[in-house]
Chains A and B, each alone.
Chain A
Amino acid sequence: MLEVRGLEVHYGGIAAVKGIDLQVSKGELVCLIGANGAGKTTTLKAIAALVPRSRGDIRLGGDSTAGLASFELVRRGLALVPEGRGVFGRLTVRENLEMGAYHRSDGEVGQDLEKVFALMPRLHERRNQTGGTLSGGEQQMLAIGRSLMSRPKLLLLDEPSMGLAPLMVQKVFETIQAIARGGVTILLVEQNAKLALELAGRAYVMESGCITLAGDAGALLTDQRVREAYLGE
């Protein structure tokens, strides 16, 4: 589904991502963990063409994404829930969700809207409120729900637990699990390594722009290096 080879990203003269390889197969839930500033967000942004890559090849469903803008990638089944959620604060909840289906012209948008409301009843209650009036957790749910409205094949999630109360984090992760079970391929970036590793099938560990460990999430959860660096033991 997603293949990244030798990806390098520079901000000015500084290398944020230094030639990484990663791949996510259809139906997988893969997580990318690492400390602040390791280059995880930059990696996702490069995949979604929000930042230009300096070198490397990114393939989505087998096709190279070189030269495509982010709005074109949406049409190829890519959705990114950005760090900080990116909810449109002045649009209503319903309008935010409709924006998710912006590129679609099929007649099933209304149906999908009902599905998202069924998955997240809170959003239905608040459908006519503006996005800016929602709590952090509700905004995160809205951002995820909005991404589903595009009917993604590959969903990229950037720090969905950031700034949320523990109970809300749990809710968000349950939702992510439900989405994965529904057949959406997911690449999850998280600082909350424990939660992410428990949820994911496979995982990559990123450190200062490089991938230093990769493998089965369960195995990484018991790996001594991971436990020391990310699980605080």
Chain B
Amino acid sequence: MSAVDFEILLQQILNGLVLGSVYALVALGYTMVYGVLGLINFAHGEVVMIGALSTLSAARLLQSVLPGLPGPIVLLLSTLAAIPVCMALGYTIERVAYRPLRFAPRLAPLITAIGVSILLQNIAMVVWGRSYHSFPAYVSTEPFQVFGATMTPVQVVIIVVAMAIMAGLMFLVHRTKLGRAMRATAENQSVAGLMGVNINAIISITFVIGSALAAVAGVMVAANYSIAHYYMGFVLGLKAFTAAVLGGIGNLGGAVAGGLLLGLIESLGAGYIGDLTGGFMGSNYQDVFAFFVLIMVLVFRPSGLMGERVAERA
């Protein structure tokens, strides 16, 4: 392998990690909700979008009030403002759309989820308009060199923040009383209730936490591509869902692994498809890889990489 080849490979891997960190954050939201409710919350991608757009609005407001504020501070404060918006949104979605259907046939909440997704897209279109908004470079996007590959500070921040959040979530779920109650609820709701766990509260908390992660992921995507619009959550949501299925839906570690893996597959696939097809297909086929992975997983290993074996149930 020549030096140039290595640099290209490293570049694709770095890009894949950035993309994968975002997928992982969003996939965690899908998998947590699936864990406690057995429901695919297809509106989750829209929460990501609302996170990005409300951050943008908060940042504009903040800069008009305090014009001299440094970019990273603006981004931090406006993200912190968008997180509670998304948390409230997640809580409301569960309360209004899913809770009344808790004991309905599985198809009903699934259709409802798609309905909520369309509803949120349209609300966002009314509030923020149909146009693409450029997302200013609050954190520098000035590239620097890493062993010949280029990276931007914003990408470094994305990876570091995503890893920190995921470590925090793992700690919460596996080492705290709340996390124990969440795992118990995921396994057997009625028995968890017999232990004194308020199931409805746990389900609400799950939605709220997942939505907070979605808000952060939305900001990351917008900052990385310098763009935000009302439709950005749709494909991203589907890909994160793919990542969750790839890792084994319902499994937190699986969502992280699936997200990172999917990011790498997409990035490497898009990077090399041109060479492999002699220039016939280009990197604009990037989206094909995620859905190809989804089909392959569903056909050959529907339980995913780390999927729960059903026999484990007591």
Contact = CB atoms under 8 A, between A and B. Distances in A.
- Say whether A and B bind each other: yes
Interface of A: 48, 50, 69-71, 74-75, 79-80, 82, 85-91, 95, 98-100, 102-103, 130-132, 134, 139, 146, 150
Interface residues of B, number: 21
Nearest to A74: B196
Contact of B194 (A86, A130, A134): A86
Contact of B184 (A50, A79, A91, A132): A91
B5 interface: no
A71 B195 CA distance: 7
Given A69-B193, A99-B195, 10 more contacts: A90-B312, A91-B180, A91-B183, A95-B183, A102-B180, A102-B181, A102-B197, A132-B314, A139-B314, A150-B195
B190 A50 contact: yes
Contacts of B313: 89, 132
B154 to A, nearest CB: 38
A79 B194 contact: yes
B57 interface: no
B292 to A, nearest CB: 32
A80 B313 CA distance: 20
Interface of B: 177, 180-181, 183-184, 187-188, 190-199, 308, 312-314
Contacts of B181: 99, 102
Contacts of B184: 88, 91, 99
Indicate the member of A79, A85, A99, A139 with the most B CB atoms within 10 Å.
Answer: A99
A199 B199 CA distance: 35
Contacts of A91: 180, 183-184, 187
Contacts of B194: 48, 50, 70-71, 74, 79-80, 82, 86
20 contacts: A71-B197, A71-B198, A80-B194, A82-B191, A86-B190, A88-B183, A88-B191, A90-B183, A90-B187, A90-B312, A99-B184, A99-B192, A99-B197, A100-B195, A102-B180, A102-B196, A103-B196, A131-B314, A132-B313, A150-B196
Contact of B191 (A86, A132, A139): A86
Contacts of B177: 98, 102
B275 to A, nearest CB: 44
Contacts of B199: 71
B180 A71 contact: no
Nearest to A105: B177
Contacts of B183: 88, 90-91, 95
Nearest to B200: A69
B144 to A, nearest CB: 44
Contacts of B195: 71, 74, 99-100, 102-103, 146, 150
Contact of B312 (A80, A82, A132, A139): A132
Contacts of A85: 314
Contacts of B198: 69, 71
Contacts of A87: 314
Nearest to B193: A70
B34 to A, nearest CB: 15
Nearest to A100: B195
Given A102-B181, A103-B196, A70 B314 contact: no
Contact of B193 (A50, A95, A130, A146): A50
